[in-house]
Structures are given as C-alpha cells and as structure tokens.
Amino acid sequence: MTTAAITADGRGSSIPEPEYLDLLAAVTAWVEGPGEEWAGLIETTGTVPDALWKELRGAGFLSLAAPANLGGRGLSFVQWMGLMEIFSRSHASVRMIVHVVNGTWRAMNPHVDDVQRRKFIRPSVAGDLLVAFTLTEPGNGTGADISSSVRRAGDTYYLTGRKHLITFGVRCDYWLLFARLAGSTGSGGTVALLVDRHAPGVEVEDTSDTLGVRGTDHASLTFTDTPVPVANRIGEEGDGLAVALGGFLTPSRISVAMSCVGLAQRAQQLAVSYALERTTFGKPLASRQAVAFALAENAADIAAARALTLHAAAAWQDGTADAGSLSSMAKLTAVDMLTRVTDKALQVHGGVGYWKTMPIERVYRDARAQRFEEGTNEIQKTVIARGLLGRFQAPAPDGGRVPAPAGPGTAPAARP
C-alpha cells in the first residue's frame, strides 16, 4: 500500500512485506507452541489467566492493528486479517482477546479529542486498558435497538438501563456503552459513553458459563442512575450509533469472517491428520472415497470463504461504498462454511471425536459461537438485501427505476 495519509481508523497504514512475513512466522510459532499449552490450561480451568493477557501484551499482539501514531504496529487491514486467520486456529478465547483489543479503538478514535486520545485510546492500544463494547440489551432485538437512557445534569450524565452478552464485561476497565438521551427516539438521540467499571449504581452479573469459547468472561449489566462524566462521552450527542456502527461493526464482521476461516482450517487440519493415521480394515481412513470427498469439499469451502473475506477486507481498506454489504456477505458465507466444515471434520473422527480428549470436540463447540457474534445470519441477510434492493431506488429521468449493474460490487454500504 502506498497511501501516505492514515485515517483515524487506521486505513492507509501498512508495514513492509519482509517485516510482515516475519510477523506471520512469529505468530504461527506462538499459536502452535505456547498457544496450544494455554488452550489446554483454559479448557481445564475454565478461565483465562492474567498471565496470558500479560504474555499477549508483552509480545505486542494486542497492538498489531492500530497505526504507529497511536502506538500500534501499523498493519494494513488486509495484513491484519492474515494474522487473524492464524490466531483463530488457537483457542477461541485467545482469538477473542486479540480480536476485541485490536478493534475497539477503531470505534472510538475518529470521535475523540486529544485529551481522550491520551487517556483512553493509547492505553487501549497498548493493552494497558481494556474497553468492553457494550451495545446489546436483553429486551431488544438488534444491537441498534437501544432502550438504556441518560439524563444530563451539569457535567454529568446519569445512566439507567440494562445490557447483556457483554464480552469482557466483568474484567474490563471501561464499558464503551451506547444509550440514548431520555425521551429521544431514533439515532439522533444516541450517545457513546466510556463508563468506569467501578462506577456506583452498577450491578455486574457474571454470565460466563457458555457452551464454547470457555474462559472468555461475559456479563449482564444493570445501571441505576450511574454517574458518567460528560468528559467521557465519545463524539457529540447524537453520534452514538455512528460510533457503534461506523468504525467498528463493518471491519469487525470481516474479522469474524476470517476467524471462521482460521477455525475451519484448524478443523480441517485435525480431520486430515486423523484420516491419515486411523486404519480401518487394513487401510488408512483417508483411502475411503467418502472420507476423501468430505475433506475435498471442506478444502473448497474454506478457500471460497477466505477469498470473499479478503475481498471484503480490501473493500473496507480502500473505503469503497460496498464494504458494508460485502462484510455481511463474508460473515454469512464464512459462518455457514464453518458449520459444514466442523461437522464433517467431527464426522471423520467418528464417535471418538465427541469426547473432550479430542481437540476437534473443542473446535466444534467454539464454532457455534460465530453464528451470533456481530449479528446473526438473519441480520446479515437484512443488510445484504437492503443494499441490493437499494440499488433500484434511484428514479430515472422518465420517472421509472434505474437498475444497477449486477453483482455485489455496486451495492451501497448498509447498516442493520
């Protein structure tokens, strides 16, 4: 990439190819070495120890995606997706940590002032301050459906409402929380606030006992007149949804799609190894056509999803109008691919793959979580359809409708 200007969300940043290849090798070595040891410990204890956070921070893995002027490594977004592909072959909690910490700064940085950038963004990029993205509410449908409200008195907002399914909501330092001004409707009344984890008037319920992604903490939160300084508002009043959806959701969906690709690669690797080692009736399992065909289908499925995800990543990196639609296409396609691949990979293992002693069992459980992260498949279809149908809304000079050229490349960006 030759672009000199670096935008607030990091687009325009990149590192030289030799340096990037060295970084790919280093991440791969960590995932296949220490990462596997950490995976076993997390599954045994059900928690992510502080020592792992410290190791990831010390290795620089929590500041890879941010530009150098924020203290990051300065990867381009496409380069970052190459690393996400590798991290996602590790334990799901490892993937979750690097995904979240390398992403939340994108939502905040375009909207902060210099004081906030020093206080919140730089420490977040360094991994010294953990910010939990806090949008979803228990009584509403999508993340953009917000009931939590604030009323302002002088230099303080008072927050009342509930949030749930908040990743790192227990151990974070701040919640990047989205609410609306009391009495307002629509996106124009929304605000983004950094709420101190230890602010008064907050009830935190640990809801971390999940099917997969063991070790990552999740929280349900109840706020009752919780004071939040106006100085902790990100952007202006009315910018809440722009902060939540503008700089975060599109690249995050692409990142989740690439996470699906990486995890599918791990499932395929386990299935191929088992098929080559397992002998039935005197022959390797891989020699059975049914098994070989299943593995071939997996390989094609993974390659197709990877190509679409990289296409979406390049579109967002270049700022094209169809990046929003493409991000949903990539996430929808990759999630469905992961479902098929992990199911076949487990089937190749036979009954033994159902036991916790086999690595494929954890991969199979972790894969299911991807279907909820950053919006369900139904939400992705809504975004894609809105962009697709929106191409036909421009009136022609004679009062008719002008159909756009076929293909996703012409679809405008859309939000749920």
Residue 126 parent element (H or E): helix 122-126
123 assigned to some structural domain: no
Question: Which among 206, 234, 262 is the end of a domain?
Answer: 234
pLDDT band at 102 (very low <50, low <70, confident <90, very high): very high
Is there a domain that residue 226 lies in? yes
The DSSP H or E segment spanning 248 is none
Same domain, 143 and 265: no
Amino acid sitting at position 14: S
Which residues span the domain enclosing 29? 17-102
Which residue has 């979240």 as its token pair? Answer: 100
Q: Considering the domain boundaries, does residue 11 fall inside one?
A: no
Query: How many structural domains are present in the chain?
Result: 3
pLDDT digit string, tens, across residues 64-82: 999 999 999 999 999 999 9
Lookup result for tokens 């952007």: 235
Helix or strand (DSSP H, E) at 153: strand 149-153
Residue 153 in any domain: the answer is yes
Q: Which of 91, 157, 164, 90 is nearest to 134 (CA)?
A: 164
Q: What is the widest separation between alpha-carbon atoms in the chain?
A: 80
| Rounded Cα–Cα distance for residues 267 and 261 (Å) | 10
Looking at residue 416, what is its pLDDT? Answer: 32
Asked whether residue 221 falls in the same domain as residue 82, the answer is no
Token duo for residue 264: 């599918």
Q: Rg of the chain's alpha carbons, rounded to an integer? A: 22
Using DSSP's 3-state secondary structure scheme, residue 35 falls into helix
Mean pLDDT of the chain: 92
d(CA 182, CA 173): 26
State both tokens at 323. 């990046």
Task: Say what the pLDDT of residue 4 is.
Answer: 43
For the whole model, what pTM was predicted? 0.90
For the domain that residue 60 is a member of, what is the CATH number?
1.10.540.10
Flag whether 10 is in a domain.
no
Residues 260 and 392 in one domain: yes
Task: Say yes or no: 93 and 137 in one domain.
Answer: no
Task: Evaluate whether residue 113 is within a structural domain.
Answer: no
124 part of a folded domain: no
- Are 173 and 269 contained in the same domain? no
The CATH number given to whatever domain includes residue 206 is: 2.40.110.10
Quick one: pLDDT at residue 272?
A: 98
Please give the average per-residue pLDDT across 257-263, as a whole number.
98
Going by pLDDT thresholds of 50, 70 and 90, the confidence category of residue 402 is: very low
pLDDT of residue 399: 53
Mark out the alpha helices in 208-322 (DSSP H runs): 240-241, 250-277, 289-318
pLDDT in tens, 275-287: 999 999 999 999 9
Instruction: State whether 187 and 262 are in the same domain.
Output: no
| Average pLDDT of the residues in 243-249 | 83
Let me know whether 150 and 247 are in one domain. Answer: no
Residue 6 binned pLDDT confidence (cut-offs 50, 70, 90): confident
Closest CA relative to residue 151, chosen from 235, 237, 243: 237
Dump pLDDT digits (tens) for 121-170. Answer: 999 999 999 999 999 999 887 767 899 999 999 999 999 999 999 999 99
* Co-location of 197 and 270 in the same domain: no
Q: Is the pLDDT of residue 392 over 80?
A: no
Residue numbers annotated as active site: 374
Buried b (16+ CB within 10 A) or exposed e, 162-200: bbbbbbbbbbbbbbbbbbbbeebeebebbbbbbbbbebe
